[in-house]
Every structure is written in C-alpha cells, then in structure tokens.
Amino acid sequence: MKTLPLFPLPVVLFPGTLLPLQIFELRYRRMVKECLASQTPLVMLQARNASTPDIDFYTTGTTGTIIDWQPLPNQMIGIELKGEQRVRVSEIHKESDGLLVGEVEYLNSTVLAGSEQQSVRLAEITAHLAQHPLLSFSTARINDDTADAFSYQLAARLPFSGADKQRLLEFDNPVARLELIYTLLKEY
C-alpha cells in the first residue's frame, strides 16, 4: 500500500475525467506543491457533508494527477486534476497542519473481454442509453475495451446527485455502472 494525501470535497472525480479546482487553504497549497515536486497523485474523496469534509467522507475515491496549474490572486493556486484510478483508503492520519493522508489500495474494474453474456448486455444497455434525449453518442464505439472509460465519462457529465455518483464510482463492473446510469436517467 502507498500513503497519499487526501482531498475530501463534495465532488466525485472519475478515472479519465478532468476536474478544475482553486486551492486556497494552506494545507492544500502545501499538498499541491509536494505533489508537483514529487510527481505523485493525490486522492479525491467525496465529502458527504460540505460543512464537515474532513470528518465525514467516503473512503472510495480516485487518484488525481495534477496536469496543469497556475498561480491565482490572493495566493491561491488553480489546478486541473486528471482522474487516474479508483482507490480505497484506510489508516487515515491528520498531519500537524490538518492535511489528511491515508494508505491506498488500488481497485481494478472487471475485465469484460471473453464474457459473451457481459458483451451482449453491454450492447443492450448502450442501445437503450443511446435513445435517451440527454445523450448523443455512437453505440459502434462502445465495446468491451471502452465500456469502463465510457461509463466514467457519462457518470461525470450527467446531473446525478453526489450519492448516486459515489455509487457509480464504487461499481467494479462497467456494465453494472451503465445499468445504474440507465436506471437513474429514467428520472430525467
């Protein structure tokens, strides 16, 4: 396991997606500087409550690599994070300035290749999704190799609640993730 800095906010970062942030707290400015200097990721964790993000957050999140940064007025730092890999965090510690760090376990998604039943279900669910008025994509581009990335992109872009986005992040199987997206979209 690897120890990484934790950044709990009321937002979900999905693998393969981008998240712009403005960093103003001293502990997080230190985190950004250290991540840039050591070329290590940080872990974005969704806070359940925006008023107490350091106390009440989910322990499944996503590593994020800082791909761009710029100084902003008032000693703030603008960064753009790229979501890399889902992780589960344990053994969380608070450093002297309040920055949280934790041991991370990297989580893998289910590999669909070789499962005819999963491939058939993937084709069915993407055909249903393609008919939804909020979505526009070619089902020909979605296959066993692209389902994981596609499901994360959809989850990030659609107007779901934080709790629903967290549920989507926690699914290991991209077909199950797409099925939940389809179910949630029935409300729109």
Cα-trace Rg, the chain: 18
pLDDT on residue 112? 67
Q: How far apart are CA 130 and CA 114, in angstroms?
A: 24
- Residue 176: CB atoms within 10 Å: 16
Which residues, 6+ apart, have CB-to-CB distance to 103 below 8 Å?
1, 2, 3, 89, 90, 91
Q: What share of the chain is helix, strand, coil (3-state, %, to 5)?
A: 35, 30, 35
What pLDDT digit, counting tens, does each position of 50-87 carry? 888 888 999 999 999 999 999 999 999 999 999 999 99
What pLDDT digit, counting tens, does each position of 160-181 carry? 999 999 999 999 999 999 999 9
Angle between helices 147-157 and 174-185 (to 10 degrees): 30
Mean pLDDT value across residues 23-41: 97
Mean predicted lDDT score pLDDT of the chain: 93
Q: Residue 94 above 70 pLDDT? A: yes
User: Is the pTM value of this prediction over 0.85?
Assistant: yes
Find the farthest-apart pair of alpha carbons in the chain and give their distance in angstroms, rounded.
Answer: 56
Give kind and range of the element (H or E) at residue 104.
strand 100-106
Amino acid letter, 116? E
Read off the tokens for 95.
């450093």
pLDDT on residue 50? 85
